[in-house]
Structure 1
């Protein structure tokens, strides 16, 4: 009996590419496959050639093993009864063929076998068929040991006897999985925030560890899930710039890899603000009371919204001194829940304060006022408009607060003729609700009027994207007693 082995190595991966840092991706197919054959003769002049399509497959690859039995001159007609292919248990059987045609097989942990009848598969020394080919296909499992030569072999039985060669070869050597690691992290965070660092590893297995680093300091470990993703919840303790990366350590089946660095900028935590609503005393229906909120730290900007029982009264910018005020003219007696809510600003949290204010009824001998609001006929974005409020009786004095919605536009004193005026330049097109709130004075009760206007764009395009809306319109109010 004689043996000989033939091995052919098809193109490999360039060592230069690996050294340069390129990711080596392991995949299915025959590119880079290393087929190998071994041949021997039996004492009955049967030549057996056993070929493995790839002796260095990676996890997930498909491997085909071909056993060819050829009857040489000098032998006798032989009837093959069965052929058994012996393989490492980590190769998972897929299919079998006999002479190129699909054929059913029985399997065990380390073998696959095809069985024929006593006359089904003859091989002859002279006339055809002189050979038979038995082909077995497997898939390389994740449980294969790595970088270890694993035995393969075959056996058969025939009319002139048979034999089994469990370690005849060729051997199969499954290399370590090549891996690649990528990291996803937010570019910007704030102290106190929590973020999920997400590492995706190709070539790893569920349950494998991934280590997360800030520069060279390990900050935590997480395991890969069934999708090859590891998630680590991270809360930075200080502001600054962090250089995050994820590292997949080598395992018994996979090579190590690491991600590129992802820079994360962490800004300081917001300064906590406080808002204090000053006590309101002497509030009376129809008379002005000043709502005053003080925000700390001063100079934070932002706005304060004043509300009465949850209903918006006004939205007022916070001055550089941290103070926001609004002239409130209550329209009903009794307890009112007044709240001042600071909006917050860049780097500063919002805050609020509230108080119960008791409003007294107006004296029975007070005089009711009437306020009539007038706006120019063509409200247009970017064009100054004169807003006029005429108060009757006209000699009471006091002030008028003008609002766009609940945002205060400005405050104007009532002159001796009962008129208060304000210049308003609309910033946005569309429908706006403009209010004039007279404060009342002395024994004259406050009152209010409201007009709905439609602000048009500047002819020819103008502001806010150059729309083609109306030039502006308004629908008037007729004045109301004791505020709105």
Structure 2
């Protein structure tokens, strides 16, 4: 059997290919496509194999065509199987197997390095000398893998079977030499609208690149930044610098193994950024029942638009108030003593964001009682002899002190009795004459300060013929409303004659009690709870000077369950 072969290469489509109706699948980068054919004879048959591009790039589609001919005056041949042999890095394009321009062949078996076409028969090759002649062409398309070795001749070939026998032509050609991969760069969908200052994640997927290859990201002609491929994807975080319309693309730079590619542009509209706000609340920390309380909030920036809802805890105070020139306020009154925690909640409009103030605490209290302080005692005094300065405060406060002054000089303070409103301070005058005594109530919770008018005290010289005395007070018994207490005054010397007047504040308890063997005793039952200053005022008999005890402060409480009917003093101070 004599064989001959002819190899033809044409930069474009060959005259033979056009005449035979060969289809060339054009992929990206086929401007430099190199079609190539090889022809040979075997017995009474001849064959022509043509590859649409023997120098493809990875990712392109190529078509391999094989034409069968019968020569001389020989019989027809029925073709039942054609096995096209190809490099394993080529992938069969589904439904691309055809005979001439007929529909796709149905019995196709795809293997890693071949595609087998079968039929019974698929076609018949007719002798040209027995008209009509028919020379079929088998066409199969492949996608060139991105993993194909580049710059290396990759063999193709053919096996077939027919009614006149089988033919085997492995590596017959043409061979394929793969060049750089064609790449495609796809920019992932970006948000069509973002606010200025927001970060936009740009992500590009490159088919045909390799890990570590560089992708650049552009806005128009301005490079924004770059990223490297990892598993075919490169990313870049872009922060739009201003408002406006932007056109973003991704560009794969290309390498020695892959061609450059650019994505389709995507439009991004950048709108003004949200404006953060701050809300501050100004309010008094204390207020009086019935007076106006104004809550004022300041929102920055002052251009912010929106409303403020004032709240007391979780409860709304009135309706939302519109912010004007950065401020909003509301005024309220409170009918009873109470505590409050106010906040201001700003709800912005447009680009202005919401914000909430810190809490402001308010204590609402009852109005203070206006007090009056009056000095009541003593009317007279003796130089060197202790007396008690006494003043009353009305209305009676719950607590507090009175500061006494003599001739403008403070001489001490004393607690105000909550039972009688009287403050008592022991004092000894040093000079004969008229002394001016004033008393100032220093104030307490709910009660104002007040200062008495001057009170004149006539201070006499001591009488040398009288012997000095001292008076001591002892209090016993339950300090409970409705239960009797015992007051005992002891006068020294014991032989001093005279009387003792017991007092609660400035109120006399009964009448004067005669001193017997230096002792005077009385009992008293309190009708009202509170604190009281108890004193014993001794008026001496012939030859003895007067004297007074210091105040003994007692606390009288309300009777309750289990309160003893007798016993020692429940609350005794300064006894």
Name 2:254's counterpart in structure 1: 250
Give 5+ residue unaligned stretches, structure 1: 12-25, 364-484
Name 2:45's counterpart in structure 1: 46
Q: Deviations over 1:406-450 (max 9, x none)?
A: xxxxxxxxxxxxxxxxxxxxxxxxxxxxxxxxxxxxxxxxxxxxx
Q: Deviations over 1:306-353 (max 9, x none)?
A: 223331425446676x66432113467644432123456978873412
Distance 1:174 1:325, change over 3 A: same
Distance 1:266 1:235, change over 3 A: same
Question: How many angstroms apart in 1 are the aligned matches of 2:296 and 2:284?
Answer: 8
Question: How many angstroms apart in 2 are the aligned matches of 1:246 and 1:120?
Answer: 50
Question: How many angstroms apart in 1 are the aligned matches of 2:51 and 2:367?
Answer: 104
Is the partner of 2:169 in helix, strand or coil?
strand
Check the 8 A contact 2:59/2:208 in 1, yes or no.
no
Check the 8 A contact 1:60/1:141 in 2, yes or no.
yes
Residue 126 of structure 1: how far off its partner (Å): 4.5
Distance 1:135 1:261, change over 3 A: closer
Q: How does 1:188-337 map to 2 (within 5 A)?
A: 189-191=195-197, 193=198, 195-199=199-203, 210-212=215-217, 218=225, 220-221=227-228, 232-234=236-238, 246-250=250-254, 252-257=257-262, 273=278, 275-284=280-289, 287-294=291-298, 299=302, 302=305, 304-308=308-312, 309-316=314-321, 324-330=328-334, 334-337=338-341
Q: Deviations over 1:195-253 (max 9, x none)?
A: 2233556866798864447955736556587xxx86544468x9999997643232534
Pair 1:340 & 2:344 matched = yes
Q: How does 1:147-166 map to 2 (within 5 A)?
A: 148=151, 150-157=154-161, 159=164, 162-166=167-171
Name 2:148's counterpart in structure 1: 145
Question: How many angstroms apart in 2 are the aligned matches of 1:340 and 1:132?
Answer: 92
TM-score after normalising by structure 1: 0.51
Question: How many angstroms apart in 2 are the aligned matches of 1:136 and 1:144?
Answer: 24
TM-score after normalising by structure 2: 0.45
Q: How does 1:436-455 map to 2 (within 5 A)?
A: none
RMSD: 5.3
RCO higher in structure (CA 8 A, sep ≥6): 1
Name 1:85's counterpart in structure 2: 84
Question: How many angstroms apart in 1 are the aligned matches of 2:132 and 2:339?
Answer: 109
Distance 1:108 1:181, change over 3 A: closer
Residue 3 of structure 1: how far off its partner (Å): 0.8
Which of residues 161, 171, 174 is equivalent to 1:169?
Answer: 174
Question: How many angstroms apart in 2 are the aligned matches of 1:257 and 1:118?
Answer: 48
Residue 111 of structure 1: how far off its partner (Å): 1.4
Is the partner of 1:313 in helix, strand or coil?
coil
Name 2:37's counterpart in structure 1: 37
Q: Deviations over 1:40-89 (max 9, x none)?
A: 222x1321122345556677765443322212127677676643212222
Question: How many angstroms apart in 2 are the aligned matches of 1:119 and 1:350?
Answer: 79
Check the 8 A contact 1:280/1:289 in 2, yes or no.
no
Check the 8 A contact 2:304/2:352 in 1, yes or no.
no
Q: How many residues align?
A: 339
Name 2:359's counterpart in structure 1: 354
Distance 1:131 1:109, change over 3 A: farther
Is the partner of 1:3 in helix, strand or coil?
strand
Check the 8 A contact 1:338/1:356 in 2, yes or no.
yes
Question: How many angstroms apart in 2 are the aligned matches of 1:98 and 1:244?
Answer: 46
Is the partner of 2:146 in helix, strand or coil?
coil
Question: How many angstroms apart in 2 are the aligned matches of 1:178 and 1:143?
Answer: 9
Give 5+ residue unaligned stretches, structure 2: 15-25, 369-575
Residue 38 of structure 1: how far off its partner (Å): 2.7
Name 1:23's counterpart in structure 2: none
Greater Rg over alpha carbons, structure: 2
Question: How many angstroms apart in 2 are the aligned matches of 1:9 and 1:348?
Answer: 65
Is the partner of 1:282 in helix, strand or coil?
strand
Q: How does 1:353-372 map to 2 (within 5 A)?
A: 353-359=358-364
Question: How many angstroms apart in 2 are the aligned matches of 1:219 and 1:355?
Answer: 51
Distance 1:46 1:186, change over 3 A: closer
Is the partner of 1:162 in helix, strand or coil?
strand
